[in-house]
Amino acid sequence: MRADLLGRERNGRLLTPNLSEFGSEGRVFTRAVAAGIPTYFSFPPMFCGGLALDGGKVIGLPVGTTTVVEELSRHGYRTAAVIASNPYLSHYYGFDAGFDFFEDFHASGLAGRRRREGRRSVRFVKKVAGKGATVRLRRAKAKYNYLRECARGANPALHEGSRAEKVTERGLALAREMDGDRPFFLWLHYMDVHGYFYATQADRRAVTGASTPIGDARIRWNRFRYVDRWTGQISRSEEEPPDRDVEHTSGDEKVLTGFYEAAMLYADRSIAPLLDWARRSTRTVTVVTADHGEQFYDHGKIGHAPIAVYDEIARVPLLVHGPGVECGEVDDWVSHSSIPVSIREVAGLPGGVQHAPSLLAGAPGGEPVFTETLLGVRAPFPRRRFDEHTLLIACRRGAHKYVWREEDGAEQLFDLDSDPGEKENLIGRPDVAGAEAELRAAVRERAARIGVLDARAKLGESVRRLGRSIGVC
């Protein structure tokens, strides 16, 4: 969910009325950013603190780290999670650690797919048909599934049980079940504002203003076109050089943003019962955030692949609500790295070294805030390590944001107060030389640190493999 669309209106209707009201009763961070892009780099800091690449050039939770969920479990908390269809948040990458109950709609299907693809007959067919034919067959199957799901008014990217109202229903049942003498931690992950953008037809009509049968038919026709036109643009966004725009029209932008905003409307309505439950509770602290935003040709691309760290992808909603939370808006930069710190504070757990400010009260401070990723990593499941990819790092402090691309040394500097759309690169301008030098130094120091962390991670993996080979561990 993009932060800049939270609280926006379309055709006289708020896209997020429930989230906006919930935020007005708590604390809203208007300059919150993901510590990593996309999902597989964004989530580890929410569970372990630190930054996205503290485990080196890997995805998933860093091996050997303890998550805040494991700490809560050891201190008597009940723990549960309901994860909408997303393989990168499954037990394959260790996200079930510390949970008493972990419902992952995607895991069993993925396990079955991996078994099927490993069969000798399937490998033989792939070898005989060739890579090109195999890819075309896979796309044809995806298109068939998409058309079938569209005809049913469903979303081909989501298991039926992963839709927002189902996740909320399951989450509320778990919250009521666990709300007893022992404290509890509940994590719900929604996927409706992810690609394909699930919503009802009524939501799409409300956002686009369609009020005639012809308008309704046009919406349905554009849904059928999605798999051909816009998924192709997403692929080209990832395949072409980062600075090359994907070819598109103004109509593309209008249609896609309409689908996206309809999904926001649907998701906001679907989580309302959960927000109402949290509001009625006198001892529940709730954190609402997103793991990344979405590009709609803002800088020539669409999607959220790790090819850019502009704020349409990196800035996220972040709301904190509940007892002990200081109300109001906070305009300082914060990142997901602060979430584990804040959870420990709520639970009264020893926090160790504080690497990030708390979200509950006070000013976060003026420390540099990073977003980092590995340039161009694509759909890596089930791989974990990506040594062949280079760094892409953004660093913010005050009004300025500096971006460095390791692959070719490209640099960008933006003044986000005067240029929130990040259109004018200020690198080399004398009037911002101080900010440029300061942020460049912070990014280069961070890059060197990632190299050290990655070397340690590789060594640790080698030692563990050696231990397993000789039966020690």
Burial of residue 161 (CB within 10 Å: 0-12, 13-18, 19+) is middle
Contact assessment for residue 391 and residue 372, using Cβ atoms and an 8 Å cutoff: yes
Q: How many CB atoms lie within 10 A of CB 245?
A: 12
Radius of gyration of the CA atoms of the chain, in A: 22
CATH says 3-364 is which class? Answer: alpha beta
**Fold of domain 390-473:** Arylsulfatase, C-terminal domain (3.30.1120)
How far is Cα 439 from Cα 433, in angstroms, rounded to an integer? 10
**Structure-token match 């609402």, residue found:** 288
Contact assessment for residue 443 and residue 433, using Cβ atoms and an 8 Å cutoff: no
Task: Identify the CA nearest to 188 among candidates 215, 209, 167, 169.
Answer: 167
Q: Give the pTM.
A: 0.88
Contact assessment for residue 139 and residue 227, using Cβ atoms and an 8 Å cutoff: no
Local confidence pLDDT in tens for the 473 residues of the chain: 999 999 999 888 899 999 999 999 999 999 999 999 999 999 999 999 999 999 899 888 887 889 999 999 999 999 999 998 888 898 888 899 999 999 886 655 555 555 555 556 655 666 666 666 766 776 676 666 666 666 665 555 566 778 899 999 999 999 999 998 899 999 999 999 998 888 888 999 999 888 899 988 888 888 877 767 877 888 888 888 888 899 988 888 999 999 999 999 999 999 999 999 999 998 999 999 999 999 999 999 999 999 999 999 999 999 999 999 999 999 999 999 999 999 999 999 986 556 789 999 888 878 899 999 999 998 777 788 898 999 999 999 999 999 999 999 999 999 999 999 999 999 999 999 999 999 999 999 999 999 988 888 887 766 666 666 676 55
The residue ranges of every structural domain in the chain are 3-364, 390-473
